[in-house]
Amino acid sequence: MNNLFNIARSGLATGQAALSVVGNNLTNSMSGTYSRRDIIIGESGGLATARGFYGYGAQVVGVQRAYDAFTNHQLRGSISTYHAFLGRQEQLADIDNMLGDESDNVSVSLNNLFKAMATMSGDAADPANRTAVFNSLGVLTQRYNDSGKRLTGLEKSTNTHIEQSVKDINSFTGQLAEINTQLERIQAQSGTPPADLLDQRDDLLARLSQQMGIEVTENRVSGRVDVTLADGRPLVSGGKNFEFSASPSASDPNKVIVSYVGSDGVASPVNETSFTKGRLAGLFKFRNEDLAVARNELNQIAFQMASRFNEQNGQGLDLDGNVGQDLFSLPEIKAIANANNTSGSSLGNINVTDYKAVNAEDYTIGFDGANWTVKGADGRPITVDATGGTLKFDGLEIEIPAGSTFNAGDSFVVNPVAGAAEGISRAIKNGNEIAASDMAGGGVSNNKNLEAMLEIQNERLIGKATLTEAYTKLVGTIGSNARAVNSSLTSAKIDLDTKYDTKQALSGVDANEETVNMQMFMQYYQANAQILETANTMFDALLSIR
């Protein structure tokens, strides 16, 4: 009789525990970070007799968290790949939309300028015609300005996104280190890591994977994870995390760079090309490739266009008989001193000696204590003439101020077309200053120099391309990149969804399945209650015997 009571009680306790587990699963079924719990029920022992084995009922052996390390690893990889494309696509789409706007872009305004000039060539003295060209010059410069400012704004927003990504990474690694500490402490006390902390751990790893590619090593006993970069440098090691820092570049204060802070506290700039996964990788690739191409090529178009028009306008006479002045103003070319320079000296004026030889790239000018060197953006050495107190290369002449002292290791960055699109402006004050006439006579109202200016639209000023062709090529390059990223993003999303569904099939909660389990354990509980009621009836029957 006593054994029957014990069996019933063990069944009721087990049923209650099972219903609690199922109820918790159902309550958390809408959470994307919750891993299903499965109760494990076993025998509670028994008594072997000559007549056979009599069991003592059931007991809860444990509650198991549904989890598969390999599946989670696969999912984290897909998360990192997807967010690399997403981080790039979000920024790239803005450039693609801006440059590809067929109704309002630089190419449209440039063609309108040539159309206005063609009309003016029919009557170069007509004030209305001159005003139309003058206005077209203003509209064109405004289009350049708007596009340039948009790209500068994208650079700033990309810097902000990079800084936020670094903050998120540091936050996630810090939380993971704290969870590691808790897991090891609780496991040492109870022998089993708590499932809720393991869920938090996996959620943090997934969120960290959104920002960058990571390698994870898991201790299956304690639940602790060690996280490293692809190159093996630690991010989380037990209860300690290693952080990144975001700061302005020493060579370009407008560019935010990311550094890894080692155990010695020294921040070392990361190799941005080595980041291939996660949002941070996408932001790096956008800034270093898509944005750099868009800015350099747009600035090059603005620079070459302005230089050529200024050259041609200077070969004619305006309506008042004066030699033509510049139609466009371009921003001053500046050398940016590296923040780590020790001398404090600056380079002098930078003049253009041959605008056709000017390239759109970042040159690094260095001083080794005795000689000056110049390197291109890709690190290639540039032939430089350093005689006569100037540095001459690629259509530029840079003054070395007399009396200035430079120290070994000092360096400067010069991009001769930087800011050309954003800073270009109309230099003339009215249409009368357009030098339509040539200098060979025939009156200042002839259109011979204007005809020469009209031919600029057919000249191959940028490599083998005309101004319009160069802009079309830029639009095509950005558009092609955008389409490729969108295609890759779509494929990555399909892969991510597949990996997520696989993970959910293994560890997610199926509400229908849990509802069936609840009904089953309710019947189980009721059956054990019936056993207890039967035992009570039998006991009452014994007590009623006289």
Kind of pairing between the strands at 58-65 and 52-55: unpaired
Find the Cα–Cα–Cα–Cα dihedral 261, 267, 272, 274, rounded to 10°: -50
pLDDT tier, 441 (very low <50, low <70, confident <90, very high otherwise): low
Whether residue 253 is found in the same domain as residue 178: yes
Mean pLDDT of 426-442: 89
Q: Which residue has the higher pLDDT, 242 or 191?
A: 242
pLDDT over 70 percentage in the chain: 99
Nearest CA to 258 out of 238, 236, 229 is that of 229
CA angle at 84 for the pair 78 and 88, rounded to the nearest 5°? 150
Query: How far is the C-alpha of 176 from the C-alpha of 226, rounded, in Å?
Result: 9
Quick one: pLDDT at residue 479? 93
Whether residue 278 is found in the same domain as residue 338: no
Query: How far is the C-alpha of 419 from the C-alpha of 509, rounded, in Å?
Result: 56
Q: Is residue 179 part of a domain?
A: yes
pLDDT tier, 546 (very low <50, low <70, confident <90, very high otherwise): low
pLDDT over 90 at 533, yes or no: no
Q: Are 70 and 200 in contact (CB under 8 A)?
A: no
Which of these three, 366, 388, 418, is where a domain ends? 418
Whether residue 197 is found in the same domain as residue 266: yes
Q: Which residues contact 525 (CB under 8 A, 6 or more apart)?
A: 11, 12, 15, 16, 18, 19
Quick one: pLDDT at residue 207? 97
Number of independent structural domains in the chain: 3
Q: Is residue 374 part of a domain?
A: yes
Whether residue 244 is found in the same domain as residue 349: no
pLDDT tens, position by position, 215-253: 999 998 899 999 999 889 999 999 999 999 999 999 999
Mean pLDDT of 183-190: 89
pLDDT tens, position by position, 484-499: 999 999 999 999 999 9
Q: Which residue has the higher pLDDT, 320 or 331?
A: 331
Quick one: pLDDT at residue 182? 95
pLDDT over 90 at 107, yes or no: yes
Q: Which CA distances in Å does 318 have to 87, 124, 325, 432?
A: 52, 10, 9, 6
* Cα maximum dimension of the chain: 146
pLDDT tens, position by position, 4-57: 888 888 888 998 998 999 999 999 988 888 999 999 998 888 778 888 887 888
Mean pLDDT of 342-369: 95
Whether residue 272 is found in the same domain as residue 350: no
Query: How far is the C-alpha of 532 from the C-alpha of 89, rounded, in Å?
Result: 65
Mean pLDDT of 99-128: 91
Burial class (CB in 10 A: 0-12, 13-18, 19+), 289: middle
**What is the span of the domain harbouring residue 221?**
162-286
Which of these three, 418, 433, 458, is where a domain ends? 418
Exposure string of 228-249, with b = 16+ CB inside 10 Å and e = fewer, is bbeeeebbbbebebbbbebeee
Query: How far is the C-alpha of 544 from the C-alpha of 363, rounded, in Å?
Result: 106
pLDDT over 90 at 439, yes or no: no
Find the Cα–Cα–Cα–Cα dihedral 417, 420, 421, 424, rounded to 10°: -160
Whether residue 224 is found in the same domain as residue 278: yes
Q: What share of the chain is helix, strand, coil (3-state, %, to 5)?
A: 55, 15, 30
Q: Are 93 and 149 in contact (CB under 8 A)?
A: no
Which of these three, 365, 383, 418, is where a domain ends? 418
Quick one: pLDDT at residue 2? 54
Whether residue 245 is found in the same domain as residue 189: yes
Q: Is residue 359 part of a domain?
A: yes
Q: Are 214 and 76 in contact (CB under 8 A)?
A: yes
pLDDT tier, 190 (very low <50, low <70, confident <90, very high otherwise): confident
Whether residue 341 is found in the same domain as residue 253: no
Q: Which CA distances in Å does 62 have to 17, 51, 86, 186?
A: 10, 32, 42, 17
Q: Is residue 434 part of a domain?
A: no
pLDDT tier, 3 (very low <50, low <70, confident <90, very high otherwise): confident
The whole-chain average pLDDT of the chain stands at 93
Nearest CA to 328 out of 106, 107, 118, 134 is that of 134
pLDDT tens, position by position, 137-171: 999 999 999 999 999 999 999 999 999 999 999 99
Q: Which residues contact 546 (CB under 8 A, 6 or more apart)?
A: none
Mean pLDDT of 399-419: 95
Q: Is residue 377 part of a domain?
A: yes
